[in-house]
């Protein structure tokens, strides 16, 4: 389906495309830490320049925090409109000492490029840019109208994207949306994701005494904020690993029998995953398989915890303060606002006398399921088969992509393609994040094919 000229352009420019990806990865565009604000802007400009270099023009839109890049190809009447979403921001790279090579000095080893953002999302997003370049750069006409929406706040929950979509709705309307910010089901098993978990993320700050106290002099009379925190966190989960918040599971849509059968048929090498993760055993909610638990069931995880003395040796204090980050992954039809309320009430009720607890909601996202029965979905299936040499499986993913909900809500668009080119063991959010150069190449071929499939059969 791919014109020979385009196919050959992609193959001949394989190394040049990797070089461009490395340049993108060198920019430490960490969205959550204010120190990197300049790099955020550099990354946005880089994306705009790339697109502009082969005629997809647009501009950088400031928001209250990090800017959005919006660019469109020259309009072709009658061709379907595909909105491509990606994000140029990345997670913080810490713990730094666990990286084999520095997180913002891309290093190629064993066929992988290693850097923060390699898979999430710079590498995956860039496949769309390079596919468009392969067509336009060769002098061909695009078979679709392309709109690129690239934000810098995905890793902090896209706080300003909603307003942006509302205000630029007309420019963003499309027949389908494509997002590659997930993963294949497993290496060599490409996938189309039709479900995403939602998110509800909190910070807890516990204040005890005004300052750290000598635990000899005051142990026994003062509530210890680290103990209060541990008690609250322990109470969030039941011994069987279910979430103990009252009513947490009330609105969870049960998995249908056919869906459980389909998920059960996916080839999962649990030993291989355990070995990769370095854990002796999987744990989790009883009655559900590993695949179900990581994608189709809600969870709660502590993302960080702190308080008091963590240096070498012994310091006998009652800490003045303690804190934790806690997040919940939600599934349809859990409502993040309702879950947030339940969480708040539970924590407030669990808070002991003698300490003060501050509960801050950091971000939230709705869970989502998209329709599997659209022309765009069939186009994606064919395109992936063309790019990867095998048919994709259909999966539900554990992560959240807030923009999916926003697109549904503000653009009224449910025709959303979630196509993962990376792999679950690429280490998104972990040290030594990587992206397979083969997957990068196959992703570019798939995207180019998708453009032609959509152009031929519509969205």
* Shortest reach from residue 304's CB to a copy of itself, in Å: 3
Nearer to a copy of itself, 86 or 398 (CB): 398
Our CA angle for 76, 60, 179, nearest 5°, is 60
Long-range Cβ contact pairs of 43-51 (< 8 A, separation 24 or more):
43/88, 43/89, 43/152, 44/68, 44/69, 44/88, 44/150, 44/152, 46/88, 47/88, 47/129, 47/148, 47/150, 50/20, 50/129, 50/133, 51/129, 51/132, 51/148
Q: Do the beta carbons of residue 421 and residue 83 sit within 8 Å? A: no
Nearer to a copy of itself, 143 or 398 (CB): 398
CA distance 158 to 167: 15
CA distance 22 to 102: 13
* Shortest reach from residue 119's CB to a copy of itself, in Å: 10
Nearer to a copy of itself, 264 or 279 (CB): 279
Catalytic positions are 89, 154
Nearer to a copy of itself, 284 or 375 (CB): 284
Tokens of 144: 């679709």
* Shortest reach from residue 386's CB to a copy of itself, in Å: 27
Nearer to a copy of itself, 139 or 313 (CB): 313
Query: With helix as H, strand as E and coil as C, how does 259-298 read?
Result: HHHHHHCCCCCHHHHHHHHCCCCCCCCCCCCHHHHHHCCC
* Shortest reach from residue 313's CB to a copy of itself, in Å: 4
CA distance 423 to 190: 9
Our CA angle for 275, 280, 282, nearest 5°, is 95
* Shortest reach from residue 228's CB to a copy of itself, in Å: 9
């Amino acid at each position: 389906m791919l014109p020979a000229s385009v196919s050959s352009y992609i193959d001949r420019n394989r190394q040049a495309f990797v070089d461009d990806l490395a340049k993108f990865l060198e920019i430490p565009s960490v969205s959550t830490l204010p120190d990197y604000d300049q790099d955020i802007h550099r990354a946005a400009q880089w994306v705009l320049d790339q697109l502009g270099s082969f005629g997809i023009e647009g501009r950088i839109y400031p928001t209250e925090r990090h800017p959005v890049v919006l660019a469109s190809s020259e309009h072709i009447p009658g061709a379907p409109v595909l909105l491509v979403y990606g994000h140029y921001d990345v997670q913080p790279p810490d713990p730094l000492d666990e990286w084999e090579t520095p997180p913002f000095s891309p290093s190629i080893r064993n066929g992988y490029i290693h850097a923060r953002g390699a898979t999430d999302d710079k590498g995956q997003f860039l496949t769309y840019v390079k596919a468009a370049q392969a067509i336009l750069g060769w002098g061909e006409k695009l078979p679709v109208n392309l709109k690129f929406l690239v934000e810098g706040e995905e890793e902090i929950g896209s706080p300003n994207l909603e307003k942006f979509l509302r205000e630029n709705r007309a420019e963003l309307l499309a027949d389908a949306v494509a997002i590659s910010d997930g993963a294949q089901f497993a290496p060599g098993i490409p996938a189309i994701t039709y479900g995403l978990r939602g998110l509800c993320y909190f910070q807890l700050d516990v204040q005890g005494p005004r300052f750290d106290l000598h635990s000899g002099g005051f142990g026994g009379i003062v509530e210890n904020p680290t103990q209060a925190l541990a008690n609250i966190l322990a109470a969030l989960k039941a011994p069987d690993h279910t979430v103990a918040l009252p009513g947490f599971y009330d609105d969870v849509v049960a998995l249908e029998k056919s869906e459980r059968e389909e998920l059960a048929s996916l080839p999962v090498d649990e030993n291989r995953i355990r070995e990769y993760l370095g854990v002796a055993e999987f744990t989790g909610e009883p009655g559900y398989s590993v695949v179900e638990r990581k994608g189709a069931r809600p969870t709660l995880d502590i993302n960080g915890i702190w308080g008091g003395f963590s240096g070498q040796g012994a310091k006998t204090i009652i800490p003045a303060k303690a804190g934790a980050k806690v997040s919940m992954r939600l599934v349809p039809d859990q409502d993040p606002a309702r879950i947030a309320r339940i969480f708040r009430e539970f924590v407030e009720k669990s808070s002991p006398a003698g300490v003060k607890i501050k509960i801050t909601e950091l971000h939230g996202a709705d869970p989502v399921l998209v329709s599997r029965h659209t022309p765009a979905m069939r186009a994606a299936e064919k395109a992936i088969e063309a790019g990867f040499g095998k048919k994709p499986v259909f999966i539900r993913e554990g992560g959240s992509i807030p923009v999916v909900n926003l697109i549904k809500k503000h653009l009224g668009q449910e025709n959303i393609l979630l196509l993962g080119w990376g792999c679950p063991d690429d280490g998104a959010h972990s040290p030594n994040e990587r992206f397979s150069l083969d997957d990068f190449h196959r992703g570019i071929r798939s995207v180019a094919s998708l453009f032609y499939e959509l152009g031929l059969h519509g969205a």
